[in-house]
Chains A and B, each alone.
Chain A
Amino acid sequence: MCDTCGCNVTPGNRHLLESAHPAGGREPVAVLQGLLAENDRAAAHNRAHLETHGVLAVNLMSSPGAGKTTLLEQTIDRLGGRWRLAVIEGDLETERDAERIRARGVPVVQITTGTACHLDAHMVHRALHRLDLSRLDLLFIENVGNLVCPAAFDLGQHHNVTLLAVTEGDDKPAKYPVMFRAAHLVLFTKADLLPVLGDFAPDRAEDHLRRLGSAVPVLSLSARTGDGVEAWCRWLETALDARRTGAAAP
């Protein structure tokens, strides 16, 4: 799965990984530092970079096929006239999602991760340098479809949004607590299918989320019919206004 994801070993730091042989005196050294300190440093740099330009960054995470790209298309149609948007697309392979966004006339940078199952702050940093941040208000980062690995990596975003399609089980928050605890907003997508599915209970899904100690807002929507998309756009605009005025997050 992730064994080609050596994104932390670069030509710049490889020389530090030198070999040696044990012998002689031992010294314990206390460290107490995050295991992903390198990623977190890069993420803080990204965040500072975005804030210099007043750009709000929203990281979208979900299983593959939960409807991240379709929701982005709808969002662009509704907000594209009022705000300057851009998208960073993370996928294992292909530029298909980027082409769909580009067709909407929005700047997009595709990151193809190969076999790596998540985006990290270094990848996003390189992508940021391919965007003109001075001409942006809102940047979406569409993470690799995966409910496990992306949750562990800070990218420099301001908000995490986790999508849960109603075609998945309503116990997903219980099965993937790390992902759902990381969310600042949870979206139940493909809600137009609820009547035909019958076995996804939004209340039960929300109950599983609350058991994780999460009090974040939950919205149901359908990017296909447009139902509920307005509420999602309002959440985004509240977050944009909050960023501009320096107020607290929604």
Chain B
Amino acid sequence: MHELAVCRSMLSQVARIAARHRARAVTRISVRIGPLSGVEPDLLSQAFPFAAAGTVAEHAALVIDARPVRVHCEACGHEAETGPRNLTCPRCGDGRTRLLSGDELLLAEVELLHQATDT
């Protein structure tokens, strides 16, 4: 349950970006998370409103792009989606696979709201 710590780290990065762009608020935060990152998307979503309260991202939507686990087999060259508990090649069963995706823990994009001229 370290998702709150991850959330706070994300929000201070987001706050820095918002300050640099002189944004009034953050409306969307898009992240990419793979099951091998150790972060549970559901727990991150639950932690988000608590961590975001009172910050520049208080009203932002947190959009999580859950990445699949994909491997490339060094033995037979096959590329396939697998599960986090078994990264062996689904075709030939070889254990020498390279992870193509599944361990992402990325802040992909933020959508900023700029100072309105109506004030």
Which A residues are closer than 8 A to B by beta carbons?
1-3, 5-9, 13, 16-39, 116-118, 120, 148-149, 151-153, 174-175, 177-179, 181, 210-213, 215
Contacts and interface: CB of A to CB of B under 8 A. Distances in A.
Contacts of A17: 11-12, 15, 54-56
Given A17-B54, A35-B10, A210-B95, A23 B118 contact: yes
A174 B6 contact: no
Interface residues of B, number: 60
B105 A177 contact: no
Given A212-B85, A213-B99, A149 B59 contact: no
A175 B84 CA distance: 9
Contacts of B13: 31, 33, 35, 37-38
A28 B23 CA distance: 11
B3 interface: yes
Interface of B: 1-6, 8-13, 15-17, 19, 21, 23-25, 27-28, 31, 33, 36-39, 50, 54-56, 58-59, 71, 84-88, 95-99, 105-119
A33 B107 contact: yes
A31 B19 contact: no
Contacts, number: 182
B112 A29 contact: yes
B38 A148 contact: yes
B118 to A, nearest CB: 7
A18 B105 contact: no
Given A17-B11, A18-B56, 5 more contacts: A8-B9, A17-B15, A38-B9, A149-B1, A213-B96
Contacts of A175: 85
